[in-house]
Amino acid sequence: MKRKIGFILATLALAAGLFLLFGRNWIAQRAFDRAIDHTVGVDQSAALADGLHAYVCGSGSPMPDAQRAGPCIAVLAGKQAFVFDAGSGSIRKLGRMGFPMDRLQAAFLTHLHSDHIDGLGELLLQAWIGGSRSTPLPVYGPDGTDRVIAAEAQLYAIDEGFRVTHHGPKVARPSGFGGEARIVTLPDNAGSRVVYDVDGVKVTAIRVNHAPVSPAFGYRIDYKGRAIAISGDTIYAPGFVAAAKGADLVFHDALNKRMVAALQAKLAERGRGDAAQIMHDIQGYHASPEDAARAAREAGAGALVLYHLVPAPPAKLIEPLFLGDAPKEFPGTLKLAQDGMIVSLPAGGKAIQFRSAW
Ligand SMILES: [Zn+2]
Ligand SMILES: [Zn+2]
């Protein structure tokens, strides 16, 4: 009996020793294999219902933020994918969200402020290599978009050479490098115009008011009876309300003037005059949360998501302070955008579903 117990104990000790030596690596390897089996090369959008799906790739503003990339909303409409603005860091978030870059049809720029285009180089690169493109990515935007696209091509010309040489022209197709600018113009008497209409997906450019930046656009995406409107940067704009009429979901920029004024006062008090001046100036060309709520209510939207948050509340506790009276102004679902948020509008109904990619 004693010998038997001794044998069992020795076996257990040997097993524990072997586990300590090799077990952790075995478990780590299994976990790694499982993770790549579930994610790598898998089209994570394949299981989504037919309809519109909005991916919040960037909910932030030019203010530095550990959680929020610069402004970016991507939309999947049936089998077609689109990106609206590409703020700093947003395209990596988009990749992390499982967005199908190989279905990207076009990008749309609301205006040419740096915070809306400082991730554009990354978008063009990901569309080219990640999306296996053989033609440049169409990029719709205001006058000047052609200069930006030409500058991006120059900026990445050396990288293009490296990649074509390294991977070969069958993988890194030189013909798919970069973007192709498509300048959006609206006649003086028009507040909006359809700029993309392919296989049941319509994108409408909308004139908004971000003076002195002009022109600045919002966009509306329609597909199978569902619609999303994106304001870009604007104050309350009646033209945006008109063009967003009946949209299921509105994304609107929001700046809390009381909070920005407090930042301005503190900067002035500490002798940071230039920064205080900037805090003063930006209050005049963004909507307040209440303005955005009013616009969404008048448009009859089902849900309003505030993005381009200035300043972005650093904690849940501060969100009510940021929102102010916006919840009273808008009767529908009202949320602050978070990076990773996915909003689904399945075709053939009125459902609006929110979830997080992480
Ligand atoms: Zn702007
Ligand atoms: Zn902006």
Cα 62 to Cα 86: distance, rounded to the nearest angstrom = 12
Could you tell me the distance, in angstroms and rounded to a whole number, from the CA of residue 278 to the centre of ligand 1?
13
Q: What is the pLDDT of residue 4?
A: 75
- Residue-wise pLDDT tens digits, 97-117: 999 999 999 999 999 999 999
Q: What is the pLDDT of residue 188?
A: 84
Q: Which residues surround ligand 2, an ion (CB under 5 A)?
A: 113, 115, 233
Q: What is the pLDDT of residue 6?
A: 75
Asked whether the beta carbons of 210 and 248 are under 8 A apart, the reply is no
Could you tell me the distance, in angstroms and rounded to a whole number, from the CA of residue 315 to the centre of ligand 2?
22
Q: What is the pLDDT of residue 7?
A: 73
Q: What is the pLDDT of residue 127?
A: 96
Give the closest ligand to the alpha carbon of residue 112: 1
Residue 1 pLDDT > 70: no
Who has greater pLDDT, 237 or 39? 237
What average pLDDT does the segment 83-104 reach?
96
Residue found under tokens 């498509």 = 182
Give the closest ligand to the alpha carbon of residue 70: 2
85, 115, 248, 253: the active-site residue: 115
Cα 320 to Cα 332: distance, rounded to the nearest angstrom = 16
Cα 290 to Cα 322: distance, rounded to the nearest angstrom = 10
Q: What is the pLDDT of residue 15?
A: 73
Q: What is the pLDDT of residue 273?
A: 95
Could you tell me the distance, in angstroms and rounded to a whole number, from the CA of residue 233 to the centre of ligand 2?
6
- Residue-wise pLDDT tens digits, 53-85: 999 999 999 988 999 999 999 999 999 999 999
Q: What is the pLDDT of residue 10?
A: 78
Asked whether the beta carbons of 343 and 53 are under 8 A apart, the reply is yes
Give the closest ligand to the alpha carbon of residue 285: 1
- Bridge partners of 204, per DSSP, are 194, 220
- Residue-wise pLDDT tens digits, 175-186: 999 999 999 999
Joined tokens for residue 23? 């077990």
Amino acid 220 reads R
Asked whether the beta carbons of 107 and 137 are under 8 A apart, the reply is yes
Cα 253 to Cα 208: distance, rounded to the nearest angstrom = 12
Q: In what order do the strands lie in the sheet with 341-346?
A: 179-183, 137-141, 104-108, 80-84, 72-77, 51-58, 341-346, 353-356
Residue 46 pLDDT > 70: yes
Cα 291 to Cα 256: distance, rounded to the nearest angstrom = 10
Q: Which residues surround ligand 1, an ion (CB under 5 A)?
A: 113, 233
Could you tell me the distance, in angstroms and rounded to a whole number, from the CA of residue 313 to the centre of ligand 1?
19
Residue 21 pLDDT > 90: no
- Catalytic (active site) residue 115: yes
**Phi and psi torsions of 289, nearest 5°:** -55, -35
Q: How far is residue 278 from each of residues 158, 197, 235, 285, 310, measured CA to CA in Å?
A: 36, 39, 17, 12, 13
Give the pLDDT band (50/70/90) at residue 12.
confident
What average pLDDT does the segment 120-146 reach?
96
Q: How far is residue 42 from each of residues 24, 39, 99, 100, 272, measured CA to CA in Å?
A: 27, 5, 11, 10, 50
Residue ranges of E strands in 2-77:
51-58, 72-77
- Residue-wise pLDDT tens digits, 227-240: 999 999 999 999 99
What average pLDDT does the segment 203-209 reach?
97
What average pLDDT does the segment 169-197 reach?
95
What average pLDDT does the segment 329-358 reach?
97
- Which distant-in-sequence residues (6+ apart) come within 8 Å of 312 by Cβ? 59, 60, 61, 63, 65, 67, 68
Who has greater pLDDT, 45 or 12? 45
